[in-house]
């Protein structure tokens, strides 16, 4: 049954804005057709709202009240030191860099070039070259389901990173993709990345979604389309500190080949509204997935992680550990679904979500789900929400540690277990630094 709904101001503006900017968006005829189809899909669906099961705790229709105009071209001038300041501890990471400002690639700030076995380009350039064919999987993601957020991404995407790593090629340094917001007026910034690892390739990729000082509230819609080849190994990390008045809609779509390893991690903090959507599908046997995250919320921040892990083939292993700290009136959401298809015997899936509540007014909603159609599997999940243990606090205070310091130590020790899951030691240290700085403000905001 379809219920006719009155379109909100934002929904109307999005459809209207598409007409206005369509001609400026990159891509040949096939891409343009895909964009038009996508905005049509969006017009039919509208923004996700609470009556859609997967969005019941993150009602975008009521959360996104003010229309923002899409950012197309003309990124504000930005300097490397400004980017470094926004990157905090990640700035010192010895990595190749690709920088996008307000959804536009900025070659001057980027330090990576194609090499043997490494194809690297901006999505805008790749789309421009695509002519009448949208080939090479540039818009493949739009084929996934009827997701309004993905449809919007296809319709409005301006740029992003296209990385293809050849067979058995090892990237010698991590690749840092920086998505910075500078606009002095709120904008809708839409980016898409394509990450393809050939068989046996190895790479570490970090996405940093940050706001430069003085950036206006904005909305980001970002999508990463990931494919990890047979025996390939990808460490994929996302650090989102987009700003208290910003919203961040992120989708990761990943497929894993035979005996592939995908080590993913997401840190989300200091972001007004975040929805991290993750879809991972095992395509080949014997693959391993470790997807974890840490989220830190304060004020009225809302952080949602929704993931679907699809054991479509036998003998794969999935591990998820998500930990959050919620202060003030922050709202955390975790929805984790593990599907084991009928043929996927010997699947091994474990999932855990744990939250530390620092305030009576904070809220955590959790829905772990197992959908198992095979009989020879090991799967488990769990979810907990707890407050700081007063007995532990007393123990520490009895040793002379002042309350604030004891609380901070307990909160940090709680979140460290998740951050320890970051697959690369240097990246882990940087994220730990960024998280610790946020934790200090979280524990200080309490009585």
Partner 1 sequence: MLEIKNLRVKLADEDKLILNGVSLEVPKGQVHAIMGPNGSGKSTLAYVLAGREGYEVIDGEVLWNGEDLLAMEPDERAAKGVFLAFQYPMEIPGVATLTFLRTAFNAVRRKRGQKELTTPEFLKRVREEATSLGIADEILKRPVNVGFSGGEKKRMEILQMAVLEPSLCVLDETDSGLDIDAVRVVSAGVTKLRSKDRAMLVITHYQRLLNYIVPDKVHVMAGGTIRKTGGKELALELEKTGYAEFKSKALESA
401, 440, 441, 445: residue in contact with partner 1 (rule CB under 8 A):
401
- What is the DSSP-derived secondary structure letter of residue 216? P
Size of the site for partner 1 (CB under 8 A): 22
Interface with partner 1 in residues 113-152 (CB under 8 A): none
Nearest to 142 by CA among 264, 308, 31: 31
144, 410, 429, 440: residue in contact with partner 1 (rule CB under 8 A):
410
| Paired tokens of 14 | 């999005």
397, 436, 441, 445: residue in contact with partner 1 (rule CB under 8 A):
397
CB 264 within 8 A of CB 254: yes
Residue 399 as a binder of partner 1 (CB under 8 A): the answer is yes
Interface with partner 1 in residues 142-201 (CB under 8 A): none
> C-beta of 390: minimal distance to partner 1 in Å?
7
Beta bridge partners of 108: none
414, 435, 438, 439: residue in contact with partner 1 (rule CB under 8 A):
414
Using CB under 8 A, which of the segments 73-81, 105-113, 370-378, 394-402 binds partner 1?
Answer: 394-402
Nearest to 98 by CA among 173, 161, 158, 172: 161
CB 340 within 8 A of CB 312: no
Nearest to 216 by CA among 76, 14, 105: 76
> C-beta of 411: minimal distance to partner 1 in Å?
10
**Nearer of residues 43 and 396 to partner 1, judged by Cβ:** 396
> C-beta of 265: minimal distance to partner 1 in Å?
17
Residue 396 as a binder of partner 1 (CB under 8 A): the answer is yes
d(CA 223, CA 386): 33
Residues 6+ apart with CB under 8 A from 264: 235, 236, 237, 252, 254, 278, 280, 289, 290, 291, 292
Residue 94 as a binder of partner 1 (CB under 8 A): the answer is no
> C-beta of 357: minimal distance to partner 1 in Å?
17
53, 94, 375, 391: residue in contact with partner 1 (rule CB under 8 A):
391
Residue 413 as a binder of partner 1 (CB under 8 A): the answer is yes
Count of CB atoms situated within 10 Å of the CB of 420: 12
Residue 395 as a binder of partner 1 (CB under 8 A): the answer is yes
Residue 183 main-chain phi, psi, to 5 deg: -45, 135
Interface with partner 1 in residues 371-390 (CB under 8 A): 390
33, 199, 244, 417: residue in contact with partner 1 (rule CB under 8 A):
417
CB burial readout 123-153, b (16+ within 10 A) else e? bbebbeebeeebeeebbebbeeeebbbbbbb
Collapsing DSSP to helix, strand or coil, 107 comes out as: helix
12, 54, 69, 403: residue in contact with partner 1 (rule CB under 8 A):
403
Residue 394 as a binder of partner 1 (CB under 8 A): the answer is yes
Residue 390 main-chain phi, psi, to 5 deg: -65, -35
Collapsing DSSP to helix, strand or coil, 218 comes out as: coil
> C-beta of 412: minimal distance to partner 1 in Å?
8
> C-beta of 384: minimal distance to partner 1 in Å?
13
Residue 433 as a binder of partner 1 (CB under 8 A): the answer is no
Interface with partner 1 by CB under 8 A: which residues? 390-392, 394-403, 405-406, 409-410, 412-414, 416-417
């Amino acid at each position: 049954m379809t219920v006719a709904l009155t379109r909100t101001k934002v929904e109307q503006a999005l459809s209207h804005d598409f007409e206005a900017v369509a001609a400026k968006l990159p891509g040949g005829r096939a891409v343009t057709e895909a964009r038009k189809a996508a905005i049509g899909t969006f017009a039919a669906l509208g923004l996700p709202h609470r009556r859609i099961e997967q969005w019941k705790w993150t009602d975008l229709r009521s959360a996104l009240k003010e229309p923002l105009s899409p950012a197309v071209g003309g990124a504000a001038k930005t300097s490397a030191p400004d980017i470094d300041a926004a990157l905090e501890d990640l700035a010192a990471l010895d990595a190749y860099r690709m920088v996008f400002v307000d959804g536009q690639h900025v070659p001057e700030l980027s330090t990576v070039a194609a090499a043997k076995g490494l194809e690297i380009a901006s999505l805008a350039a790749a789309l421009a070259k695509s002519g009448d064919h949208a080939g090479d999987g540039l818009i493949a993601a739009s084929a996934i389901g009827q997701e309004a957020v993905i449809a919007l991404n296809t319709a409005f995407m301006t740029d992003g990173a296209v990385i293809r790593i050849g067979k058995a090629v090892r990237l010698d340094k991590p690749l840092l993709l920086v998505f910075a917001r500078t606009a002095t007026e709120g904008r809708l910034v839409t980016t898409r990345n394509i990450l393809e690892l050939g068989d046996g390739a190895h790479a570490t990729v970090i996405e940093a979604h940050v706001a430069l000082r003085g950036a206006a509230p904005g909305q980001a819609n970002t999508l990463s389309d990931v494919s990890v080849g047979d025996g390939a190994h990808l460490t994929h990390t996302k650090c989102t500190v987009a700003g208290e008045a910003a919203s961040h809609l992120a989708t990761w779509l990943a497929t894993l080949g035979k005996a592939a390893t995908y080590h993913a991690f997401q840190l989300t903090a200091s972001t007004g509204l975040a929805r991290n959507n993750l879809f991972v599908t095992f395509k080949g046997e014997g693959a391993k997935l470790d997807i974890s995250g840490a989220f830190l919320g304060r004020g009225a921040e809302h952080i949602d992680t929704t993931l679907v892990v699809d054991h479509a083939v036998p003998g794969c292993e999935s591990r998820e550990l998500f930990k959050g700290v919620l202060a003030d009136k922050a709202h955390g959401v975790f929805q984790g679904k593990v599907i084991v298809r009928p043929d996927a015997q010997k699947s091994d899936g474990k999932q855990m979500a744990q939250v530390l509540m620092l305030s009576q007014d904070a809220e955590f909603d959790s829905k772990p789900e197992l959908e198992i159609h095979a009989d020879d599997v090991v799967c488990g999940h769990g979810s907990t929400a707890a407050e700081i243990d007063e007995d532990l606090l007393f123990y520490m205070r009895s040793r002379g540690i002042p309350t604030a310091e004891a609380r901070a130590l307990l909160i940090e020790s709680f979140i460290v277990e998740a951050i320890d899951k970051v697959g690369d030691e240097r990246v882990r240290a940087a994220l730990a630094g960024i998280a610790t700085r946020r934790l200090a403000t979280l524990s200080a905001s309490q009585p």
